[in-house]
Chain A
Amino acid sequence: MLFEFNNDSPLYRQIAEQIEEGIFTGVFPPGSQIPSTTEISRQFNINPATVLKGMNQLVASGLIEKKRGLGMFVTPSAPAQITEKRQSEFFEHYVAQFITEAQQLNLSKNDLIGLIERGYDHA
């Protein structure tokens, strides 16, 4: 997995999102330890307070948990939680955008359904 940062949202949120992405794709499976605040801070020259804020967001949403003296670990329920969250965001993030773009390209609803079917045939 890669850590890449842009201007789109606060840095702490991007850190949280990228660790979440790592959990989702299985780079950090349930029960595994994620990199420490210090490691991330040093590796990318990021203020440790910023990294910690991102971590705390993940702790608050139950994706990681702190084991005292050991570090941060992925919770057993984290992958399922992320999947559930992303399913509910799927419409907003992809479907709505997809339809807007299609309308600008003069593609009809049937054209879209056709394209989706074509996509599945190639998947």
Chain B
Amino acid sequence: MPNLQTTQLIKQFGNQIVLDDINLTLKPNTIYGLLGRNGVGKSTLLSILANHQTASLGEIKWGDTVLTGRDHPLQAIYLMSEINLFNKDDKLKTITKNTALLQGSFDHELAEEMLTAFDLSPKKKLNQLSTGYRTIFKTIVALCVPAEYVFLDEPVLGLDANYRSLLYRYILQAYESRPRTFVVATHIIEEIATLVEHVLVLNDTQLIVDDDLENVLAKSYRVSGPEELVRKYCTDLNILDSQQMGTLYTVYLYDTLPTERIIPDRLTIEHIDLQETFIKLTNKGSEAHV
């Protein structure tokens, strides 16, 4: 399977730049987490990659082929969209049947299994479903199409904890039974932290993180102790944020710790999780330079 690559991709709405100079290579058979704050352009990026929207500038390549829009490999790339592309008055089973025709094939067995697991009747109409169920249904369709690149835009929106957990399990099951690339755009970071192999963070029009999860977590630290010692230890390191609590000073780092620097006894250095790293990287006002 070819890579899907963007070069200097720019998207403008009017004179507002939403995505600026995005250089991204998606590889086959990888689960990506696409993270970013509200309105940062995650959905826009996915819909450009899936050819639902066009870029203002820049290039998208499918393997070695530059895509012009007309020759987009539609059946190889599938976007589960926020916006409903299905006919709201159709029964779910009609939608899956039509999707099967459009996409070339469809995993009806998995669809049936998932509909049962989520207690959803195929005889229902799309407009009879609650927000959560609509998300579930759209995700089921996305997991059952034969695409090699599947973009899941907020696949757990409006789902309760039980169904979220069940859905993650099905994503993994689908991935294992037929490895393909998933890009999961979500705000529930904690819950996908074990699911994804690679992390993408969009912030303020830019792609500020594009790295394996393992590397991202390896660089994320919280250093705390007496202010003077913390400051001295963190000199020239990439500081995302700092907090003062009495005489206790805490600094959040996104960097590799210099091995030659000795860590004083009174400093505590810990790793932080993906969610906290994300918050520190994308907080307005904190100086994040990655």
Contacts and interface: CB of A to CB of B under 8 A. Distances in A.
Contacts of B191: 45
A7 interface: yes
Contact of A47 (B165, B169, B197, B271): B197
A94 interface: no
Contact of A41 (B176, B197, B214, B218): B176
Contacts of B175: 48
A44 B217 CA distance: 19
Question: What interface size band does chain A fall in?
Answer: 10 to 19
A50 interface: yes
Contacts of B196: 47
Interface in A29-64: 38, 41-42, 44-50
Interface in A9-24: 9-12
B272 A47 contact: no
B120 interface: no
A42 B197 contact: no
Given A42-B169, A45-B169, A11 B176 contact: no
A40 to B, nearest CB: 11
Contact of B194 (A8, A11, A38, A100): A11
Contacts of B202: none
B278 to A, nearest CB: 13
B252 to A, nearest CB: 13
Main secondary structure on A side of the interface with B: helix
Interface in B9-45: 30-31
Contacts of B256: none
Nearest to A53: B214
B163 interface: no
A47 B218 contact: no
A91 interface: no
Contacts of A100: 265
A90 interface: no
B271 A48 contact: no
B270 interface: yes
A123 to B, nearest CB: 31
A7 B273 contact: yes
Contacts of A5: 194
Contacts of B195: 45-47
A56 to B, nearest CB: 14
B172 interface: yes
Q: Which of A9, A10, A12, A100 has the most CB of B within 10 A?
A: A10
Contacts of A45: 165, 168-169, 172, 191, 194-195
Contact of A49 (B165, B197, B218): B197
Interface of A: 5, 7-12, 38, 41-42, 44-50, 100
14 contacts: A7-B270, A7-B272, A7-B273, A8-B270, A10-B214, A10-B218, A12-B214, A45-B168, A45-B172, A45-B191, A47-B31, A47-B195, A47-B197, A50-B197
Given A11-B214, A42-B169, A50-B194, 13 more contacts: A7-B270, A8-B270, A10-B214, A11-B194, A42-B173, A44-B194, A45-B168, A46-B172, A46-B194, A47-B31, A47-B172, A47-B197, A49-B197
For the complex of A and B, the 9 pairs showing the least CB-CB separation, nearest first, are A7-B271, A46-B194, A45-B168, A10-B214, A7-B273, A47-B197, A49-B197, A48-B176, A47-B195
